[in-house]
Amino acid sequence: VIWEAQFGDFCNVAQPIIDQFITSGETKWGMLSGLVLMLPHGMEGMGPEHSSARLERFLSLAAADNIQIANPTTPAQLFHLLRRQVWRHWRKPLVMLSPKSLLRLPACVSTLDELTEGAFHPVLCEHEAPDPATVSRVLVCSGKVYYDLVEERRSRGRGDVAILRLEQLYPLPASALIEAVDRFRDGTELVWVQEEPANMGMWPYLRYRFGEKFLGRPLVGACRPEAASPATGSAGAHKIELALLMDRVFGAVSGPGLITGARGA
């Protein structure tokens, strides 16, 4: 069963059902569920009610492997994630975030072979990644911001920047992340990038889980500034915010907008 919201924000009025039944049903009553919540999520300049599935709320409800949270960024990943949900014996609700803009983004494609072969990958490395020996900064992100980062890296000619995609957010695939990061030299900067404000999205969860260190390296994040609303209501302001975020990501690692450890933005 898939319950799809027109936009992820619209799960707000379902919050009591999510809290009392979906995320805690197994603990309270021993009831297993393979329900999928398909919640479009991503900053697309469409306003505060059409941007956020409130990822931070689901992460706050996640404990003891009670749910799964994923943000697939390719058609093959989405297909294999849903296929896995049907076939696996481990029955847990799945919260799947994926923005509508990827439906029409030319760069978001998969080959037939990728659809017919393989499986869902909790962490995605780039097919044509830079030589690890030449990389000075590794960006770890989740969701459609990956495509913004790829385009910005190309326009700036930053061949020294590698990008990793975290496709499964909970349970956190720590071993796969460590394997992906360990390909790079010690001392390579590691930056978590998200398009959500600093008090939302994955960043507060990472600070809670890891404190000052993430995968054995300093925990540094690039986010929008803290905000009361999940997104601006202005398409023009959205573009300005995205440009500022890209400047923070590709600028000095200690510059404005980059935050470390338990400190705020």
pLDDT tens digit string along 212-255? 888 778 889 999 999 999 999 999 999 999 999 999 999 865 54
> Quick one: pLDDT at residue 218?
86
Q: Give the tokens for residue 137.
A: 């900064």
Quick check: 263 pLDDT over 90? no
> Quick one: pLDDT at residue 257?
53
> Quick one: pLDDT at residue 260?
53
> Quick one: pLDDT at residue 258?
59
pLDDT tier for residue 259 given thresholds of 50, 70 and 90: low
pLDDT tier for residue 261 given thresholds of 50, 70 and 90: very low
d(CA 106, CA 239): 20
d(CA 144, CA 110): 15
pLDDT tier for residue 67 given thresholds of 50, 70 and 90: very high
CB environment 216-253: b (16+ within 10 A), e (fewer): ebebbbbbbeebeebbbeeeeebeebbeebbebbbeeb
| Across 100-107, average pLDDT | 91
- Could you tell me the sign of the dihedral formed by the alpha carbons of 106, 48, 122, 133, in that order? positive
Measured CA angle at 243 (ends 103, 121), to 5 deg:
40
- The neighbouring-strand residues paired with 39 are 97
**Residue that is written with structure tokens 């997104």 in the block:** 231
| Across 116-130, average pLDDT | 91
pLDDT tens digit string along 23-59? 999 999 999 999 999 999 999 989 999 999 999 999 9
> Quick one: pLDDT at residue 124?
96
pLDDT tens digit string along 145-192? 999 999 999 999 999 999 999 999 999 999 999 999 999 998 888 999
> Quick one: pLDDT at residue 251?
83
Ordered DSSP codes for 140-179: EE-STHHHHHHHHHHHHT-TTEEEEEE-EEES--HHHHHH
Predicted TM-score (pTM) of the model is 0.93
Dihedral angle, C-alpha 140, 143, 149, 154, nearest 10 °: 110
Measuring CA to CA, which residue among 77, 79, 1, 94 is closest to residue 39? 94
3-state secondary structure at position 110: coil
